[in-house]
Structure formats: C-alpha cells, structure tokens
Structure 1
Amino acid sequence: MDTRHTSQPKAAGGLPGNESLDTPEQAEVRQLARQIVSRQSPDEKIRSHDEAHTFDHELYRGLGEAGLVGLGVDAASSAHPDARYQVAVVEELAAGPTSMAVCLIVQYMGVQLLTTLGTREQKEDVLAPLAGGAQRIAFALTEPDAGTDVAAAMRTRAERSDGRWVLSGTKTWISGPKVADHVIVVARTGPAEPSRVDGISLFVVPTTAPGLRIRELDTVGINSLDTCELVLDEVQVPETALLGAVGAGFRSLLATLNQERLNAAAAALGIAEGAFVLAVRYAGERHAFDRPVGAFQALQHRLVQSALRIESARGLLNRAADAAASGERADVLSAMAKLAASEAATEVTDQGMRILGGAGYSREFAMQRYFRDARLYTFAPLTDEMLKNYLGEQMLGLPRSF
C-alpha cells in the first residue's frame, strides 16, 4: 500500500484539498515540494530513516537546491519571508517525511533571524549557505528548568571578556544540533529590566566550538532529526557572533516565534492529512463480512469527523498565514491555528490507529509513525494549554491566567 502524501486527501476522501486555497505562487511552491518528496523520499526510505534514527541528507540537499530552504531570502533586504510559502512546504513534508518538516521549521527560524538581524558578514558566512541547503542551523532557547517561562528563568549567560563573548549554561530539547553547522543560542547578557524579556541576547555559535557538548536524547517520535541537550562550558565566540542588538534578543524573537507557531500548525496539519489519506485508503481496501470496512457507519463517522478537523484547521491556518504575509496582526490567528491543527493531528491519528487495528500497530504501516510524531505538537512550540491561556487574554480580553 502506497502511503505517500503525493495523493492529497481530496483524491482519497473528497476533501477540497489544500492546493484549492493557494495563490498561484503558493501552489507552485507546494507542487515543487511535493515533487521533490515523491522523487527523493519514498515510503521505504522514510521508514528506514525513522527506524535507524538517521537524518535524510539527500532530501535536505534537494530541498535546498530547489530554493525551498531559503524561500524569499534576499541578503540585501531585512524583509520577512512570505509565511504562505513556508507553511505550504512544511505541510507537504509533514504528510510524508515528518522529521524533515520539523527540520525546516528550525531552518526557517534561522533564516528569518539572520535575514532581519544579521550583519553583512553573518549573511555571507551563515545565511547564504543555509539558504542554499549547504548548511543547517539549530536554535537553542529551552533550558532544563525553563520552558514556557524561559525569559524569566534563563540561566544561560554570556559575558564579555577580552573582546570576546563567553557563554555558559545548558539548553535542552534542541532540534537538530548534531546535523547543524551553527546554533543560535539565547543567553542572558544583562538584568531583566525594565521587563523580564530585556537583557537577553542572541549568538551564532559554531557547533564545533570548543566547550560546546551535544548529547542526544532518546525521544518517542521525530526519529529522523536528533533532539539534544547542549552544554556550553565557557564557550568563547568573537564579538561578531552577536546577532542583533545586545539585550534586545528576546524581543527580536517575538515575530519569529509567531512564524514558528504558523509552521508548527502546518506540520500538525500535514501529519493529520497523511494519516487521513492512509486511513481512507485502508478503509476502502480492507474487507470484513464480505464488504469494505469503510462501508460500516461507525467507521465512516470517524473519517468524516477527521475530515472536519482537518478542514477547520486548514481554514484557520490560511487566514493566519494571509494576515502574516500582509503585515497584519497574526498572533491570535496563529495561536488558534496551531491549537486547532494539533488537536486535529492527535484526533485523526488516534482514529487512524483504531481504523487500521492490528495494521496500525505494525511498523510496516506509517500510521504508528504519524501517531507518535503528532504528539510533539501538543506541547511544542508552546503547550496547547498555554495557547488557550494566551487566547483567553488576547482574544477574549479576560484577566491574565499565568
């Protein structure tokens, strides 16, 4: 059974399909991503990398050479890349090689930060090879004792010494540093005044820097991209490693984190779509009591509910991406989109496991991988509960709950 996402849900189950809402330019980017995945990432290869916990360097190079890593990058400009193109690529990848979608989300964060904040030297030495797919970047924000409230509780520090910066601290749950050439490290450089988000700076650190130790963590999903702990033991970097202004790093992150929520929503939506296609196909092919199991009313209801979840999340994601691309406020819409998409991904993959039964429990089928990978987006980049808190305040005007 071919479980690749090259046949979109509309072909499998009557959904309108994501491309029906695309602009012509967005549709072109989506189709390019789909063609690359179809050519370079067949099902067996995805499963092989997932089982071996290895990164697909060939697929990444293909995406980079096609311009899909550095979408909209202009080294001479500080304009934000168009959000609509990024979500199209991430959605396509997530429906197949999901770990690569997670990798691209991190690369897009790096691209945006380097485009908007980078010096000419940083753009030439780091952004250009990153945008072309020749290099990769990681992003180190979360700490062992600080996740959602990392700005207030950050212990990683950077201090000036003899014309250099010296970084010390620990970061955890960092995606992709083992296959990255650089990591953007978020560290405190001054007091949290006048706000707790002040006094925090960004640094571009080579992953080969002396004193930087990387330890891979054993996770349940996203197996084809490493998740690691980073220990910075008096890591020395030159003054030119500073990205943006001293003390303004966290504020500079806010627009990037909003885009990360959009891309996270696209990833969760893609996972839901991939699982949905597989479930509908299986329901049409698997027979019991002399008819396809898809003829049973209870199973049809599960699939219809899955379709509703997917289409509702897609509508919110498209609205949020359009708002971001046009420069309008998109934080509330992106939070809603990420929440709706994560709920769609977990529900659709759960129903998919039930529909496939024993086949869903087998590693031969992709459903168990979708089921595992979808769980990431219930807590990353923010927990669903935290997003609900944020929406209660920002959308409903209720008192702050955290």
Structure 2
Amino acid sequence: MTGIGTQADTTAQADLREMVRDIVNRHAPPERVRECDIANMFDLALYRALGEAGLIGLDAQVGSTHGADPRNQIVVLEELAAGPTSMAVCLVVQYMGVGLLSEYGTDNQRRDVLAPLLDGRERVAFALTEPDGGTDVARVMRTRARRVEGGRWILDGAKTWISGPKHATNLIVLARTSVSETSTIDGITMFVVPTDAPGITIRELDTFAIHSFDTCEIIFDGVELDESFVLGQVDRGFRQVLGTLNGERLNAAAAALGIARGALEAAVDYGRQRQVFGRPVGSFQTGQHRLVDGAIQIEAARTLMLQAADATASGARADILSAMAKVAASDAAVAVTDAGMRLMGGSGFSKEYPMERLFRDARLYTFAPLTNEMLRNHIGEKYLGLPRSF
C-alpha cells in the first residue's frame, strides 16, 4: 500500500520520497505522532532531522532569487501529511517563507533569516489573517505600520489564525502602510519581525485539529522597526504575496493528498485484517466501494497536482490547475477519512488508530489557505468564463 499513486515519480523524486519515509519511520512512528497530537506538542526532533537532511531548504540557495522546485516540495509534503500531518502543515508555511525571502529578501535578510530557515535551525510564521477578515483581508486590514522620525516604523494591530508563531524566530507580517484610491491590495507592506520584539504578544488558540503545530493570535502594540525590517517594496507587499499563492495552493493540495493517502492505507490495512461475520470487513461491498471511490479521487487529484507542479516549475500559468488540485485533494481527504471512519466503526473513533486524527486534520484544507468555495468561484470565472459570482 505504500506505493499508492507514486508510480509517476522520477528516479530523483523516488529517492527523495524514500528519504522522507526513512526519516518519518525513525523519528515519527505512529505512537510518536499520537503522543505529540494528544500533548499538543511540536515534534522538534523531527523538524531538526528534516532540516539536517536538507528537506526544508531542498534545492533553494541563500544567494538565489528563487525558492525550491515545487515538484520536490510536493513529494516531501505528501509523505509527511500521510503520517505526522502537523509537520506537513508546518513545512507549507516554511516553504512559503523560503519563497518570499528568496525573492524579496535583502542580503542581510537572506543571511540572518533565510539561511537558518533553510537548514532547519529556525522557523518563520506568516501573519496575514485579521480578526475581522478572511478572504477579504486586504479590504479590512486594520494592522498598521506608520513611518516616524528617523526612518523607523511603528507597527500596531492584530493577526489571528496564524500557524506556528509560538516557537518561530521571525514573523512575516503584512500591514497597511498607506491608503490607495485605486486598489485595496495596494498600500500594504511586508515586514520581517522577530517574535521577541518588544510589544508583541502571542496567544495560542485551542483548535479542533493539527494539534502538533500551534495556531495563534498575535497582538502588535507599538512595535518599533527600522527600514531593515521591510521585506520587498513598500506598499507592494500584498501584490508580492499574491505571486506566492499559487505555490501555497499547490503545497496545500500535496498535504491534503497525503492525508487522503494515509487514511486510505490505514482503512485498507484494517479492512484486510478485521474479521466480522467470519470474513474481512473490507470484503463487504458498501465499504469497499467507498474506498474505491476514494482511491479514484486521490488519483484524479494527484494528476491535477502533478500538472500544476510541472506548470509552476516551467513558469507557465498554473493558478487554475493549482486551484483545481487543492479542491480535488481536500475533497478527497474529507471523503476518504469519512469512508475510513465508517469502515472502522468504533476503532476509527479510538485514538489508538490514526483515522480519527486524520479525519480531524483533513478538515483544515477545506478552508485553508483559501476556502474551496472561493477557489470554485475563481475557477468558474477564470476557467469557465462565467460572470463573477461574488
């Protein structure tokens, strides 16, 4: 079952996949994943092992203006999500940070922030979402950074539903720095802000899933920054972030696909072994058909994901394919974890098995990093040519 859907790998990707599996088997076996999930504990040993193996930086370089090859990122994320799912979510954030710092960082930012990120010594968190906004965050952004005497900036405001700031060294923060008369997405700037800067308060939120990677609220109260903390161009930060959203959707698709595959493997293994009425529970047609439907959804989502990754790597337009891949993969994850819970019954409800955790974790990607409803709106407008629906 560990070979499901991986036949399309190149030799290099197959070797990379095997490397990730070996690290997961050594550092995050099922009992360790369960322990971290129950304790709401980040697996620092696993993260450091991934960093030491070069799986956070992959082929990105400190002196380069490009991040890692997306075709490699999706392999790492899928393998992690099939087991220690929270670590896959963590790496989705880190890969976004790698991309932004590689493309827009100054020499000093690449040396001081990107370099320790690439080798797994440190982490970043991406602070965009606001208490009063979701998809329309640019329109409602209340976090402000204002210039003051001496070329400094003062940052005030709040962010919420931010993944991983509790133990991150730096935050990539978007804040409104001016008001544009023509566009709500202009007048927003990115800043690289140390989490220990005076005036920052981080409060962890109690969430339904992804228990081994913190989700937090962040308050900025008069945080003083100098010009060296600006990432990219002043007032162009949101436009710069838009350029990374295709990669984030693609990586979210990989994580969701990994959850779906992990759940399918767990359900099939259980279905072969568990005996009811003198036969394996997996031999009953209704449950078997649900798993077959899930396998079909997984393979369809994988095809879209691979097409999107190839397009992204070649510089071709990939926003439609990555949106389709993310919707298909997250729908597959929800369907397969539901089918697995039904097949396993009370065992699926037990923390002894991974199914209940995968069932919870899968729900993240129905609304993150963008809701499936908004992605369907985007596909309807840009692919089908229908009138805008929102």
Q: TM-score, normalised by structure 1?
A: 0.95
**How many angstroms apart in 1 are the aligned matches of 2:63 and 2:158?**
34
Deviates more, 1:68-77 or 1:109-118: 68-77
Kindly state the Cα deviation for residue 79 of structure 1 after the two structures are TM-superposed.
Answer: 2.2
Q: 1:201 aligns with which of 189, 192, 195?
A: 189
- Written as runs of structure 1 = structure 2, the 5 A alignment for 1:288-307 is 288-307=276-295
Structure 1 CA distance for aligned equivalents of residues 380 and 260 of structure 2: 26
Aligned with 1:338 (options 305, 323, 326): 326
Aligned twin of 1:266: 254
Structure 2 residue corresponding to 1:174, chosen from 162, 165, 171? 162
SS in 2 for 1:126: helix
* TM-superposed deviation, 1:268: 0.5
Q: In structure 1, how many angstroms separate the alpha carbons of the residues matched to 2:14 and 2:234?
A: 40
Structure 2 residue matching 1:158: 3-state secondary structure: strand
| 1:70–1:131 Cα contact (<8 Å) kept | yes
Per the alignment, residue 67 of structure 1 pairs with 54
Change (3 A) 1:395 1:228: same
List aligned pairs for 1:44-59, cutoff 5 A: 44-59=31-46
Aligned length: 389
Distance 2:238 2:67 in 1: 17
Q: Which runs of 4+ in 1 moved over 3 A?
A: none
Q: Select 2:240's aligned residue among 252, 257, 274.
A: 252
Instruction: Give the Cα separation in 2 of the matches to 1:347 and 1:304.
Output: 11
Determine what percentage of the aligned residue pairs are the same residue.
61
For residue 95 of structure 1, what is the aligned residue in structure 2? 82
CA offsets per residue over residues 10-58 of structure 1, 9 Å max, x none? 4xxxx4x22x112222222222111111111011110000000010000
Q: Indicate conservation of the 8 Å contact 2:248/2:369, yes or no.
A: yes
> Residue type of the partner of 1:252?
Q
Q: Name the CA distance, whole Å, in 2 between partners of 1:282 and 1:351.
A: 12
* Residue aligned with 1:231, SS: strand
Q: Tell me the CA shift for residue 399 of structure 1.
A: 1.2
C-alpha separation in 2, matches of 1:397 and 1:161: 46
Distance 2:96 2:233 in 1: 18
1:86-141 deviation line (CA, Å, top 9, x unaligned)? 11101000000000000000000100000000000000000000001000000000
Assess if the C-alpha contact under 8 Å between 2:287 and 2:339 holds in 1: no
Q: Which moved more, 1:75-84 or 1:347-356?
A: 75-84
Over aligned residues, Cα RMSD in angstroms? Answer: 0.9
Residue segments in structure 1 that go unaligned for 5+ positions in a row:
1-6
Tell me how far apart the structure 2 counterparts of residues 116 and 161 of structure 1 sit (CA, whole Å): 27
How far apart are the structure 2 equivalents of 1:281 and 1:68? 29
Residues 164 and 216, structure 2, Cα contact 8 Å, conserved in 1: yes
Indicate the larger mover: 247-256 or 347-356: 247-256
Cα 1:80–1:130, aligned 2, differ >3 Å: closer, same or farther? closer
CA contact (8 A) 1:276 1:349 kept: yes
| Aligned-residue offset at 1:258 | 1.0
Equivalent in the alignment of 2:345:
357
- Give, as a single letter, the amino acid of the residue that structure 1 aligns with 2:381: E
> 3-state SS of the aligned residue for 2:386?
coil
**Alignment of 1:154 onto 2:132:** no
Distance 1:24 1:140 in 2: 37
Equivalent residue number for residue 4 of structure 1: none
Q: CA deviation at 1:401?
A: 1.4
> Which segment drifts farther, 91-100 or 183-192?
183-192
Match of 1:275 in 2: 263
Secondary structure of the 1:215 match is strand
Tell me if structure 1 keeps the 8 A contact 2:67–2:98: no
Aligned to 1:286, which of 252, 263, 274? 274
After the TM superposition, which residues 180-195 of structure 1 pair with which residues of structure 2 at under 5 Å, given as runs?
Answer: 180-195=168-183
Matched residue type, 1:167:
L
Structure 2 unpaired stretches of 5+: none
1:368 corresponds to: 356
Deviates more, 1:321-330 or 1:23-32: 23-32
Q: Which letter does structure 2 place at the counterpart of 1:25?
A: A
In structure 2, the partner of 1:3 is none
Counterpart of 2:385 in structure 1: which amino acid? Answer: G
Partner SS, residue 305 of structure 1: helix
| Equivalent position to 1:224, from 203, 208, 212 | 212
Q: Which residue, out of 2, 22, 25, partners 1:38? A: 25
Report the counterpart of residue 313 of structure 1 in structure 2.
301
Q: Does 1:323 align with 2:306?
A: no
Counterpart of 1:241 in structure 2 is 229
CA contact (8 A) 1:80 1:112 kept: yes
Q: Distance in 2 between matches of 1:241 and 1:93?
A: 32
Report the 3-state secondary structure (helix = DSSP H, G, I; strand = E; otherwise coil) of the residue aligned with 1:382: coil
> Which residue number corresponds to residue 139 of structure 1?
126
Deviations 1:240-296 (A, max 9, x none): 000001011011111211111001000100000000000001000000111111111
Judge conservation of contact 1:197–1:250 (CA < 8 Å) in 2. Answer: yes
Contact kept, 8 Å, 1:193 with 1:199, in 2: the verdict is no
Alignment partner, residue 379 of structure 1: 367
